[in-house]
Amino acid sequence: MATASLPRSREEAQRTADRIAAHLVQLLPPGRLLIGLSGGPDSTLLLYILKCVTKLHRGFSLRAVHCIHGLDADDPIWLAHCQKLCAMLQVPLTLKKLNIVYKNRESPEDSSRQERYAALLSELKTADYLCLGHQGDDNVENLFLALKRGAGPQGLAGMHEITEDRRGTIVRPLLHLSRKQIEALTDKLELPTVFDISNTYLKFERNFFRLQILPRIKERFPSFPQAAARSQQLCALEHDLAERFIAPLLHERADQEKLRLNCTGLDWRDEHLCLMLLRAFCQLVLEQPPELALLRQALQLMAGTHGRVGRIVLQQGAWQLQRFKQYLYLTQPRPLPFADSREHCVQLSIGQSAALNGSIYTLKAGAPPSDSQVGWYRLPPAGAELIFNAAGSLKLKAVGREQRRELKKLYGEFAVPQWERPFQPLVRAQGEIWGLGRIFVCDAGQAPEDWEWVQLNITPAAPA
């Protein structure tokens, strides 16, 4: 964090704003800037600086997004302020109404933050950069919050000026400034701001560190923020090196399409390597890695005997780790097409869809690719019956097999995990079984030429 003195005049404040704007022009290729605007000093100053960016380079455009939380009586005040500010700076403003639901074992801060980020990231689909007003003191507070969580180097590293990941590109240009410097800059630039009374509520963890802990530390150790920033930079360097080291092994062992990790032949005595591989695998879908205790449970699951099964719940049930044979899978819980274990039959015409408790089954006409016909069937005009929960003792002859085998053994041959089996129905037409879902086609004789090629599609239903 910078230790620069506070601006003494409007001219000096403007030079600082222009310097940050010029740095962004040099740092970023021209594109569409999107700012998350709350109306506080941080995002207000950032809005002003980004407006300067668009004046310096015509290749940049700017749009603001304001999130209405719906939990505070002051929401209309914040909204009116942001509308007035954007009108003054001639910046288009988009409003997003949040639907915040507090989850079990999750703080109100985290619930609000996750919903706000989701709303902002949804707008990033029509922008190139999401710009946020986090500043240096926020990063120091993040260090304490990460320590409280028991985070590793990634969490302790805090926020970076530019973050590029699967969400998009997130830019935080104010991390080198302190809260005090930002307030002084907005004051000298005569930018109106609104005070958020919730920043004084000690029930919020961040406010507790901000108001009760950090002032006493700074009083005793004035250079603590700068030392903390150096520690965060070192953590970021070490995490980056660890990621580079593990990347080839992850690429070799992880199937990103099926979200599974090949555990065969890993040296379980090298706990550090295996834990790092597990963390990297989980972060294919998770923003934050699982806690160390959960990773060690997963390590035991991976290192167990060949037939060992188990499930480890991640991210409060949103994801889970499950093992099948020598693979560890990342899966999301979803309701079964039929809750009981009885056999069920669903008649489906070509072109028709059936929604079965969260999964949609469709028979779609088309032409199979030349390299594979898995999931493709020749069906009569009447379509087919989808048979769920068929008996494991049923014998079928899959294409390429020399003899008929029981369905429960074919599940193993075709590596269908236990949790996936209820979703894969048998396909039956005119009394003949033609295959199992999108797993294999049966060698049941030649279908008539006038039957139509049809693909069985299985997709999750869209969330309500």
Does 400 reside within a domain?
yes
User: Does 357 share its domain with 449?
Assistant: yes
User: Does 200 share its domain with 262?
Assistant: no
Domain stops at, among 297, 331, 365: 331
Domain stops at, among 180, 206, 235: 235
Q: 358 — alpha (psi -120 to 50), left (phi > 0) or beta?
A: left
Does 122 reside within a domain?
yes
CB 131 within 8 A of CB 173: yes
441, two tokens: 């086609």
189, two tokens: 């630039």
Does 2 reside within a domain?
no
Does 243 reside within a domain?
no
- Its pTM stands at 0.76
User: Does 262 share its domain with 385?
Assistant: no
Does 249 reside within a domain?
no
- CA 225/CA 139 separation, integer angstroms: 9
- CA 37/CA 20 separation, integer angstroms: 18
Backbone angles phi, psi at 77, to 5 degrees: -65, -45
User: Does 54 share its domain with 203?
Assistant: yes
User: Does 161 share its domain with 44?
Assistant: yes
319-324 and 432-436: which strand pairing? Answer: unpaired
Distance, C-alpha 133 to centroid of its chain: 21
User: Does 452 share its domain with 431?
Assistant: yes
Does 269 reside within a domain?
yes
- CA 66/CA 39 separation, integer angstroms: 8
User: Does 192 share its domain with 265?
Assistant: no
Look-up: residue for tokens 């188990």?
Answer: 310
User: Does 231 share its domain with 376?
Assistant: no
401 membership: H or E segment, kind and range: none
- Sequence-distant (6+) residues with CB within 8 A of 334 are 358, 359, 460
* Count of the separate structural domains present in the chain: 3
User: Does 89 share its domain with 197?
Assistant: yes
Q: Consecutive 10-residue runs of the chain (464 residues): their mean pLDDT?
A: 74 96 96 95 96 96 90 83 95 88 62 82 92 94 90 90 90 94 95 82 86 93 92 93 94 94 90 93 88 89 68 88 92 92 94 91 87 82 93 91 91 92 94 92 78 90 57
CB 285 within 8 A of CB 330: yes
CB 140 within 8 A of CB 214: yes
Does 202 reside within a domain?
yes
What residues make up the domain containing 65?
10-235
User: Does 78 share its domain with 226?
Assistant: yes
- The CATH number assigned to the domain holding 262 equals 1.20.59
- CA 361/CA 423 separation, integer angstroms: 10
User: Does 311 share its domain with 289?
Assistant: yes
User: Does 375 share its domain with 406?
Assistant: yes
Q: Which pLDDT value is given to residue 349?
A: 93
- CA 146/CA 152 separation, integer angstroms: 8
